[in-house]
Structure 1
Amino acid sequence: MSRIGKNPVTVPAAVTLTQSGQAITVKGPKGELSFTLPDAVTGNLDGDTFTVSPVEGNKNAKAMWGMARTMVLNMVEGVTNGFKKDLELRGVGYRAQMNGKDLTMQLGFSHDVHYPAPEGITISSSKPTLISVEGIDKQKVGQVAAEIRSFRKPEPYKGKGVRYVGEFVRQKEGKKK
């Protein structure tokens, strides 16, 4: 039995959640998101609470139950507050700046790295060593942050690279004489 799946999702007053069959649409102050529930689960909207329940006799029901509930919760959270990931650049000469909607980074390569902001995502750089990725879709925000991080992952000897704010990178000991 899914511990996450059996909890109901509370819909705030500023958010409207509509269901037509397996399709769920959530509208709020920040935008609109939609998701189609898997066939292994069913959704039930009752007033301001939304519950997800598994379909009896389906093998994938247990696996999809908690995931479907979490997707609906993330949509409600996204259109209400939005999601944000912060990245920091560590290294001599590593910096980032915005060129319109595109992010330009100097990461120690012989060339600058350009990253265009995808639809629905806002990238900002308040300081040359800090990048903020914001949006209403949690998966998209995390994916964009991971793509930016992948241009220069933090290396374990000096810790140089692009890392999430607060991420711990274990330092290895260098070569000894």
Structure 2
Amino acid sequence: MSRIGKMPIFIPPNVEVTLNSNKITLKGPLGILKQNKNNLVNIKNDSNVLYFTAINNSRIAKSMSGTMRSIINNMIIGVTKGFEKKLQLIGVGFRAKIEKNYLNLILGFSHPILYKIPFDIICETPSQTEILIKGINKQAVGHVAAEIRRYYKPEPYKGKGVRYLNEIVILKETKKK
């Protein structure tokens, strides 16, 4: 069922993997990530190659072997290269700037929005209408980007709002008289 779970992961030389009975720890040049192991998946480290096998032939065990393999692969990419997401602010007067550990968003409301940046995420504003979110945890980077985007999703008539870089927003035609 899961073909992804059958593929091994080759560990780069600058990444250190520690397997415990219920936790896997990855240490790389950018930081340390930890993940709880699933009881349905058996992980084996054989000379810097990780192998994932399902404990039994159940559908859930096979699908969890692919899920665990993808999560561990993303962790290896995170501790070596890191992840980033870019957001654009489209609209007249829409701006963003970093103030201490807060992201100050001016999105056309009567008040500015202060978003507290999590400690493991780095936010930058290369220009007033761009937000760059970086981190080693893929899920955390995507979650922060989704939370910021949720404040003002791109609307379908003028296209104003917070959108991902290269996101295509299909504009609707306005009502005719």
- Does TM, normalized by the shorter one, top 0.5? yes
Identity among equivalent positions (%) equals 46
Amino acid at match of 1:21: S
Per the TM alignment, residue 42 of structure 1 is displaced from its structure 2 partner at its CA by: 0.8
**2:61 aligns to what?**
61
What corresponds to 1:174 in structure 2? 174
For residue 104 of structure 1, what is the aligned residue in structure 2? 104
Conserved 8 A contact 1:40-1:58: no
Residue 158 of structure 1, CA deviation:
0.5
Which residue does 2:121 correspond to in 1?
121
Partner of residue 141, structure 2: 141
Aligned partners of 2:46 and 2:173: how far apart in 1?
A: 58
Q: TM-score scaled by structure 1?
A: 0.97
Alpha carbons 1:22, 1:43 under 8 Å: kept:
no
Q: Distance in 2 between matches of 1:60 and 1:4?
A: 14
After superposition, what is the alpha-carbon deviation per residue over 1:37-84, rounded to whole angstroms, capped at 9, x for unaligned? Answer: 211111000111111110114452022111100010011000000000
Aligned-pair Cα RMSD in Å: 0.9
Partner of residue 161, structure 1 = 161
**Aligned equivalents of 2:10 and 2:102: distance in 1?**
37
**Structure 1 stretches of 5 or more lacking a match?**
none
Runs of 5+ unmatched residues, structure 2: none
Q: CA deviation at 1:22?
A: 3.0
* Alignment partners' CA distance in 2, 1:169 and 1:57: 43
Q: Distance in 1 between matches of 2:176 and 2:59?
A: 56
Q: Tell me the equivalent position of 1:94.
A: 94
| Deviant stretches of 4+, over 6 Å | none
Q: Name the structure 2 match of 1:44.
A: 44
